[in-house]
Amino acid sequence: MNHPILNRDRDKIGPNAVSIMRPHPLGNPYAIGPDGERDTVIEKYRAWLDARIQERDPVV
C-alpha cells in the first residue's frame, strides 16, 4: 500500500489529509537519532503504519 507522507511546511495539503504528528495516535513513534537516520526512521514508520492498516487497527 502506498500512502503519501507530506510535510505541512513544504507540501500542499488537501482537505482530506490526516494529521500524523507525534502527539496523534498515528504519529511517528520513531525519532531521528535514537532510532536511526531520517531515511531509516521514515521506512520504520512506513512499515509500522502499513502493519496497523493490515491489522485493521481501529485507530487507523
Q: Using an 8 Å Cβ cutoff, are 57 and 49 in contact?
A: no
18-50 residue pLDDT tens: 877 777 888 889 999 999 999 999 999 999 999
- SS3 (DSSP) at 36: strand
Whose grid coordinates read 495539503?
Answer: 13
Q: Report whether pLDDT(51) > 90.
A: yes
Q: Report whether pLDDT(2) > 90.
A: no
pLDDT tier at 17, thresholds 50, 70, 90: confident
pLDDT of amino acid 49: 92
Q: Report whether pLDDT(55) > 80.
A: yes
pLDDT of amino acid 5: 81
